[in-house]
Structure 1
Amino acid sequence: MNRLLLTATGLLACVFTAQAMAAPPQALTDSLTVNGESMPVEQVLDTPVQGLWEVHLANGESFYSDASGEHFVVGDIYKNGADGLVNLSEQSRNAQRAARIAEVPDSEQVIFRSDAAPKATIYVFTDTTCPYCQRLHEEVPALNEMGIAVHYLAFPRAGAGSEGARLLSQVWCAPNPAEAMSAAKRGEALDIAPDCDNLVESQYHLGMELGVQGTPAIVMPDGRLVPGYVPAERLAEMLDLNG
């Protein structure tokens, strides 16, 4: 707790009241440079802290800047309210993550769901060679039965040029990707050429952009990133479906 308070205090100490007049986001985007080189700014957002802007780069990194682009702050903003400390930066990351996931068409995902309309949908960055991904996949029928749809995205742990990426490409190239996903996670060899116009590499880069560091990585409907295997019953609790 003391460390969090020191972090919050140090962050607020970096707010420059002399520069509290906020610049328009486009003006700040145009002025952000390092060593004379323009920064790959993708988005500039306002924050609850006057004079401080949230900057998102094209490579997925983010930081805070004053209106002039002269002073940067790297870290999280916390609101100290009646209910304790709330990580506003994490809330922003969640919203950004949910928005990016929503841009991926269903046709580019491998989807498991029941015939009934789902009560909730989770997005899982997966690798067929990952033991904990295989374990989570064994619980997909239970998740579907509880009304949770599972949408898979590809994330080869060893990189876009790895054997894991080739196996995921076979899944995405299959006539029935769902059946191929299940077979691959059972350790069965797939007689499918991985040379279609598949999306494994782009989804791998999307995962890195969203903060995925390993598999499985579960993105909840609100954009929260949950790393690692989570049992079906626990996921239902996290989605508030057991009440």
Structure 2
Amino acid sequence: MSETSLLRTAAVLALSSILSVVAHADEAERLAERLEVRGQSMPVESVRETPLEGFFEVHLENGETFYSDADGEYFLVGDLYENGERGLVNLSERTRNGQRAERLAGVPEEQRVVFRGTADTQAEIVVFTDTTCPYCRQFHEEVPRLNELGIEVHYLAFPRTGLNAEGARLLEQVWCADNPATAMTAAKRGETLENGTDCDNPVEAQYHLGQALGVQGTPAIVLPDGRLVPGYVPAERLAGMLGLND
């Protein structure tokens, strides 16, 4: 085969690849527009191609995810796994991890209660917390050690018994305090906070954010890559999960 023929073949293959990508993108866009149930349009946030030929991952505005064929006639609900050389890989959870990391990156630092030590920062974790939660209080005792290991702890509010409960009011007091970090520690020690809740606090917004990201209880730790770790985890074990004590 001549050099000219080789170049022509390469160009055709490249063009075919581009056209395939464009076609799948068009299919995803059309699916997002036509998805409906009983004549009612679905609140679609995004539609993405999957390795499963002919099926797309649909992410709704309320945080739910499912899989649909290109015509929106058949749905699959559940996680999609890849059976690879290293075993089963949860592709759905990998997508959720990326979405969590992206959503949390949009929360400004001034809306977080941050604990950082004097050591160089090696990692940053986000923790949904409730000052009335016993395991949250236990986790908070690990914060000084986490800071020594170079792990910053960024707290977000998640009143585990709802927005009308005492836990929500206490979290509002924490965020409205002159020094939220000091107030957080005091509240988790069971001390009474004297300040009110009459500030523009993010407790309600962070509660709804946590729900959208799959938080069901506290503490809920989100690692830098978006992985969600439910429950109390000791500092040394957490450092290992972050690859910091190898």
Q: Same fold (TM over 0.5)?
A: yes
Q: Which residue of 1 aligns with 2:98?
A: 95
Deviation for aligned residue 1:35: 1.1
SS class of match (2:132): coil
Q: Which runs of 5+ in 1 are unaligned?
A: 1-19
Whether 1:211 aligns to 2:210 is no
Provide, for residues 168-211 of structure 1, a one-character-per-residue CA deviation record: whole Å limited to 9, x for no partner.
00001111110000000000010111121100000000000000
- The answer to whether the Cα contact below 8 Å between 1:155 and 1:207 also exists between their aligned partners in 2 is yes
Please show how residues 123-138 of structure 1 align to structure 2 within 5 Å.
123-138=126-141
Whether 1:198 aligns to 2:201 is yes
Deviation for aligned residue 1:42: 1.0
Q: Which runs of 5+ in 2 are unaligned?
A: 1-22
Deviation for aligned residue 1:22: 6.9
CA RMSD, aligned part only?
A: 1.3
Q: Which residue of 1 aligns with 2:113?
A: 110
Whether 1:71 aligns to 2:74 is yes
Q: Which residue of 2 aligns with 1:155?
A: 158
Q: 2:88 aligns with which of 85, 88, 95?
A: 85
Please show how residues 1-243 of structure 1 align to structure 2 within 5 Å.
23-243=26-246
Equivalent residue pairs, number:
224
Length-normalised TM-score, structure 1: 0.89
Deviation for aligned residue 1:23: 4.5
Provide, for residues 136-161 of structure 1, a one-character-per-residue CA deviation record: whole Å limited to 9, x for no partner.
00110000000000000000001112
- The answer to whether the Cα contact below 8 Å between 1:21 and 1:67 also exists between their aligned partners in 2 is no
- The answer to whether the Cα contact below 8 Å between 1:55 and 1:64 also exists between their aligned partners in 2 is yes
Give, in whole Å, the separation in 2 of the partners of 1:242 and 1:21.
43
> Which letter maps to 2:236?
E
Length-normalised TM-score, structure 2: 0.88
- The answer to whether the Cα contact below 8 Å between 2:59 and 2:66 also exists between their aligned partners in 1 is yes
Give, in whole Å, the separation in 2 of the partners of 1:46 and 1:111.
37
**Rg bigger for which structure?**
2
Deviation for aligned residue 1:47: 1.1
Identity %: 67
